[in-house]
Amino acid sequence: MTDQHPLPGQPDTSRRSFLKTGLGGTLLLSTISVSAGLSGCATAPAGRIGAIDSRMDASYQFQFLSRDDIALFEALLPAILAGSLPDAQNQRRQTVASTIERIDQGIVKFGPPNQRELRKLFDLLNFPPTRMALARTWSDWPSVTATDADAFLQRWRNSRIGLLNNGYVALTKISNAAFYGYADHWHLTGYPGPPAWMTESLPQFTSA
């Protein structure tokens, strides 16, 4: 998102729920997008990323995720998808990269209000002071191991603060749906896909 106006959406309710959580710092979240921008965090969409400085497919144009967001998911996906990612290093990297692309595609369709919510969440996780204070993750994401990432996810899942539970669900839901919902990974759930007797007889498949 290029428009970095701080939190036009739902100030009342998010403040209220923040207060309810007893976390104090009511305005903390609403200032993060601004501070993150000022501190040099990459909050603009990454666009096309060259194959040289990353493992991303240079033909994919990121519309929402920033370079920092991509690094965040590169750190989190090995924990979120533990047991489902391929073992071979190359294949594993490719699977993570293509899952991040599908996460980006999905978020584009979320529309502006939920994109603003996710921007707040990702900025909070990428901005070092809030990453340390709220995620309690000390190193930057590219240095975070899968074990550390898993510990972070567990902390947010088990937190007594509803807002952090919500962050956990948001991160895992968009990742799990983008991964397990993708045809190449259906077999991991035992779902055989649309029955052949349908795809072989329906016009939208046969005349494609």
Partner 1 sequence: MSMNDPIARGLAAGWNITDASKLTEDRTVEADVVVVGTGAGGGTTAEILARQGLSVILLEEGRLYYQKDFQMDELTSYANLYQEGMSRATADGAIAILQGRCVGGSTTVNWTSSFRTPAETLNYWSQNLGLSELTPDAMAPWFEGREQRHNMSPWQTPPNLNNDLLRQGCEKLGYSWQVIPRNVKGCWNSGYCGVGCPTNAKQGALLTTIPGALDHNAQLFHGLRADRLVRNQDRIDHLLASAMGADGITPSGITVTLKAKHFVVAASAIGTPGLLLRSQLPDPFQRVGKRSFIHPVNATVARMPAKTDPFYGAPQSIYSDEFNFKEGTDGPVGYKLEVPPLHPAMAAGVVAGHGQQQRDNLGQLPWMQSVIALLRDGFHPDSPGGTVSLRDDGSPMLDYPITDYLWQGLKKAYLTMAEIQFAAGAEAVQAVHLDSGWYTRWSEAKTAISNLPMKPHRVRLFTAHQMGGCSMGHDPATSVVNGFGEHHHISNLNVHDASVFPTSIGANPQLSVYALAARNSTRLAQKLAPSG
Using CB under 8 A, list all residues that contact partner 1: 8-11, 13-14, 17, 79-84, 102, 105-114, 117, 150, 153, 157-158, 162, 165-166, 168-170, 172-183, 185-186, 188-191, 194-195, 198-199, 202-205, 207
User: Smallest distance from the beta carbon of 96 to partner 1, in angstroms?
Assistant: 14
Spatial distance between the Cα atoms of 5 and 144, rounded to a whole number of angstroms: 30
User: Smallest distance from the beta carbon of 195 to partner 1, in angstroms?
Assistant: 7
Residue 41 or 115 having the CB closest to partner 1: 115
Give the H or E element holding residue 17: helix 11-20
Residue 8 or 129 having the CB closest to partner 1: 8
Residue 20 or 48 having the CB closest to partner 1: 20
* Token pair recorded at residue 161: 């603060």
Residue 41 or 149 having the CB closest to partner 1: 149
Query: What sections of 52-181 are H helices per DSSP?
Result: 67-80, 89-108, 112-126, 128-130, 146-158, 162-180
User: Smallest distance from the beta carbon of 17 to partner 1, in angstroms?
Assistant: 5
**Sign of the dihedral through C-alpha 143, 147, 151, 156:** positive
**Sign of the dihedral through C-alpha 112, 114, 120, 126:** negative
* Own/partner pairs, 18-22, CB within 8 angstroms, 24+ separation: 18/163, 20/162, 21/161, 21/162, 21/163, 22/161
**CA distances (Å), origin 167, targets 3, 18, 39:** 22, 13, 23
User: Smallest distance from the beta carbon of 52 to partner 1, in angstroms?
Assistant: 29
User: Smallest distance from the beta carbon of 157 to partner 1, in angstroms?
Assistant: 6
Residue 41 or 137 having the CB closest to partner 1: 137
User: Smallest distance from the beta carbon of 136 to partner 1, in angstroms?
Assistant: 17
Residue 128 or 186 having the CB closest to partner 1: 186
Beta carbons of 166 and 121 less than 8 angstroms apart = no
